[in-house]
Amino acid sequence: MPHDSPELIDFHEQQDERAPASRGWTIVLVVLVGAVVSLVLGLLSALSFEKASHLEDWAGESMVVSGTYQTLTKDLDTRDYNGIYSGVMPRNDLVEKYPFDNRLNDPVKKAEGDQITFRGTQTGVQDSDFPREVHALLAVRHGKLTVVETDEPGSYGTDGVTDSTVTGQRVKAGAWAVAALLCAGLTVWGVRRVHHSVRADV
């Protein structure tokens, strides 16, 4: 009865040695990818919950103003710059009640239809870093109608922050949290599956 040649035996042994090693690297890769994705999703969830907390402070006492980029100016807190935007004050009860703080000059009383300029909250170092059009969220702070955030058009709806805005942000944050947990669970499941496959091959 013919016997396996030494070369054939060595080939089978090398295959058996490589299989567990490659599975081991697969486990490491699954853990790394799963950990990174779970961390990113968890961070997005935390940031969304933090934003919801900020929005809650402005619910019912905010409004939105459209702005067009004009130039840039030194940031108040960093070495970067903020964009300066121009717009028109819309009709809103808050305009009649509070002076407008554009974060550029002293607060002054404004009326519907007045031309206004205001400092954006995004930072950059040159003109191209700033969006051409923004929506500014104006909220009541310390007795003044202040620009608290600027973002891309539509970020704050049309009526400013409402209770439904806060709820929507919390739902979004919860969805990110659930996604992070699912990713962590899938990572554990993937590691166990690969591990059991290695044990079955041994």
pLDDT at 192: 79
Q: Answer yes or no: pTM beyond 0.75.
A: no
Task: Identify the pLDDT of residue 157.
Answer: 79
Domain contains 30: no
Confidence of residue 126 (pLDDT cuts 50, 70, 90): very high
Please report whether residue 108 resides in a domain: yes
Give 135's contacts (C-beta < 8 A, 6+ positions apart).
64, 65, 66, 67, 150, 151, 152, 153, 154, 155, 156
Least confident of 10-14, 20-24, 84-88, 93-97: 10-14
Q: Are residues 53 and 119 in the same domain?
A: no
My answer on whether 52 and 74 are in the same domain is: no
Alpha carbons 30 and 97: distance in angstroms, whole number: 58
pLDDT(53) > 90? no
Check residue 9 and give its pLDDT: 47
Whether residue 118 is found in the same domain as residue 156:
yes
Contacts of 79 (CB under 8 A, 6+ apart): none
Q: Indicate the length of the chain as a whole number.
A: 202
Order the strands of the 81-88 sheet from edge to edge. Answer: 100-101, 144-151, 133-141, 62-74, 81-88, 115-124
